[in-house]
A and B are shown apart, each in its own frame.
Chain A
Amino acid sequence: MYVAVKGGEQAILSSYQLLDEQRRGDPSVPELSIAQIRQQMKLAVDRVMTEGSVFDPELAALAIKQSCGDLVEAIFLLRAYRATLPRLGSTQPIDTGKMVLDRRISATFKDLPGGQVLGPTYDYTQRLLDFSLLATTEQAQAASVIESVGARPAEAEYFSPRVIDLLNREGLIETHQAPEDDPTPFDLTRQPVRFPAARSTRLQNLARGDEGFLLAMAYSTQRGYANSHPFVGEIRLGSVDIELIPEELGFAISIGEIEVTECQMVNQFGGSKTEPPQFTRGYGLAFGHSERKAMAMSLVDRALRATELGELVQSPAQMPEFVLSHSDSLEASGFVQHLKLPHYVDFQSELELVRKMRASPPQTPTLTGDLEDEHA
């Protein structure tokens, strides 16, 4: 005897409980603290803040804990939280030229004012599993050897000039002036993107975009799917001041500091009969220490400028509608995973159709017979 399906609500509550248990894991193992995640999984926290579009390491760490380390899920949590927060105002643009540097490198010059500061990076490590990390610090101290290379700049007041600015002294690199009146940039979190999209809108989309997707798109530009001969002009990691001009005061005050990674990619341009050859640029910016993201973003930014620079658009990375419509991990993950939802009504319709088509093979109406008569 068939009984109609019921009890969906109970099933959901049960699944919550199971999820809770999964998140906690073995109760005999100490629970993760937010502080631990924040301190010891810094790079995960940085990614969640960048794509979540909120600089708050505490909340990002919470999201990571809640999502059992699934960063795309954590990003979702942070974005949903952000969505209904009230807006207090807009900051001044950050000045990365005044960054207190933890790391600063350039591939375009061997040495430069301010020096190549390696800072904390995996770049020169060998990717060998460090089994000493299986134990906690107190036990392993004797065993592990940590080499550090590079040094911090001596004075916090010394600001290293940007490579871009150095190239600019010879007029070798394209410059971008802020638009007249310095209008408020379009805010993607308030309005949907419309095409064609301005560069600032594209950059906002890329900053929030999924790192994996951008990485793949960037990689494709290096493998012949568009090619802009990129060089890392400069990568900077460090903290910058956030400044706000409150109406009542009329001048800027610092409301805090954030850590950002900035990548300036330098690309070749052919020039034309009217324009002498100049380097063109791609730009990437992310919260925290996120080099892969900033670099990928800068390559994709440059590729998306193809039309503006008179280049032939041939590959997906150069197509704004393709890149910007698919870069958001929430949209992508949501729609891909929505396939798990019941679709049996739609499927029923398709089932009926296929059955019908198999039962009576289509009589494709060809008019050969009739036509012969017409044109006899």
Chain B
Amino acid sequence: MLKDNTSDVTVGEAVASHENQAVDQHFNFAYLDERTKRMIRRAILKAVAIPGYQVPFGSREMPLPYGWGTGGIQVTASVIGPHDILKVIDQGSDDTVNAVNIRRFFQRTTNVEITTQTQAATLIQTRHRIPEMALTEDQIIIYQVPVPEPMQRLEPRERETRSLHGLAEYGLMHVKLYEDIARYGHIATTYDYPVLVNHRYVMAPSPIPKFDNPKMHMNPALQLFGAGREKRIYAVPPYTSVESLGFEDYPFEIQRWDAPCELCGSRDSFLDEVITDDQGGRIFVCSDSNYCETQQNTVEQTAVTAAQSVLKDV
């Protein structure tokens, strides 16, 4: 049941449809028992009520290891319903092994419709990227979070960081940014770049590249964050202020590339570097596979339309 308009049918699709009989009867819908789901939903509600605040929750051992997305999976499992359409990506791509593994888990335990199209999905679970295409009010995006505490590297003791958050004492975070500028001339954080949510809590957005940070600000979609190993859930409700930390004279800046995407020509998306030969030749390609395909189709369409109109004029 791959809802996928691309012509490039993956081997995965054939396999998936074979897999895709009834839900595996040994498991509850979406694997977790209902009591656990209720506990997680309560944590989610609390998180939504206090944007950016890390809510502790009784994270369960899942069939994937801690550190491999169990937080995201537990959040997804608690909000997913039989009519949802699920997209799972890792590093922006639907086809990386981790994304495939998680998608298979949900197919097996829920039998929901699966898609690679960002715009068709109602739920998107992601690791390390936000899709390029804008999200809507009808969508929920769920981030997999390894380290929910933005100050952990500066202050490993949770007891202390809890006080700092409670008292909004964020001097320590700015000290780190100050040091970067003093040492390197600019802020040296390029991913998991800390943000201030709703003008109150400093939050770790998960290891998305800072390129993606602006997408979180005033996003119409609900953004949920799950950290299974560290046992925290947090959230950014729709249309919430999310500002990346910085200084007035050294403001936050996103990354830029000199080259466009080799496949679709985009100059607006995050690009992966691919080494193409032994001499170290390299090209740049969109990280978001769905976006890239869509762009390629659009380019083709435009070319076809242009060609047709030229022909018509002849």
Contact = CB atoms under 8 A, between A and B. Distances in A.
A76 interface: yes
Nearest to B271: A348
A341 interface: yes
Contacts of B60: 83-84, 189
A345 B98 contact: no
B12 A9 contact: yes
A224 B32 CA distance: 46
Interface in B196-214: 207-211
B287 A345 contact: yes
Contact of B185 (A8, A336, A362): A362
B311 interface: no
A344 B66 contact: no
B166 interface: no
B53 to A, nearest CB: 15
B303 interface: no
Interface in A1-59: 2, 4-13
A365 interface: yes
Contacts of B12: 6-10
B59 interface: yes
B61 A80 contact: yes
Interface string A122-135: 00000000000000
Interface string A352-365: 11000100001111
Nearest to B208: A345
Interface stretch (A111-119, A191-199, A250-258): A191-199
A330 B70 CA distance: 12
Contacts of B208: 345
A76 B91 CA distance: 26
Contact of B158 (A12, A82, A321, A330): A321
Interface string A162-202: 00000000000000000000000000011110111000000
B58 interface: yes
B10 A6 contact: yes
B190 A352 contact: yes
Interface in B97-152: 97-101, 104, 127-129, 146
A310 interface: no
Interface string B264-298: 00000011111010000001010101001000000
Contacts of B289: 4
B11 A7 contact: yes
Contacts of B156: 321
A344 B91 contact: yes
A334 B68 contact: yes
Contact of B90 (A12, A333, A335, A341): A341
A91 B210 CA distance: 51
B58 A191 contact: yes
A335 B65 CA distance: 8
Interface residues on B, range: 35 or more
B67 A338 contact: yes
B8 A6 contact: yes
B66 A195 contact: no
A136 interface: no
A13 B104 CA distance: 11
Contacts of A189: 58, 60
B128 A346 contact: yes
Given A84-B33, A351-B273, A365-B185, A9 B262 contact: no
A350 interface: yes
Contact of A333 (B65, B98, B184): B65
Interface in B292-313: 292
Given A2-B274, A8-B12, A321-B159, A83 B100 contact: no
B255 A83 contact: no
Given A8-B95, A84-B31, A341 B56 contact: no
B41 interface: no
A363 B255 contact: no
Interface in B51-65: 56-63, 65
B96 interface: yes
A334 B66 contact: yes
Contacts of B57: 192
Given A335-B229, A342-B90, A79 B65 contact: no
9 contacts: A8-B12, A8-B96, A9-B16, A192-B232, A330-B61, A342-B90, A346-B191, A351-B273, A363-B185
User: Nearest 9 A-B pairs (CB), nearest first?
Assistant: A9-B12, A334-B66, A349-B190, A334-B65, A338-B67, A334-B67, A192-B231, A335-B67, A362-B185
Given A2-B274, A345-B92, 14 more contacts: A7-B10, A12-B101, A13-B15, A84-B33, A189-B58, A192-B56, A192-B57, A192-B58, A330-B61, A330-B66, A331-B66, A338-B67, A342-B97, A345-B208
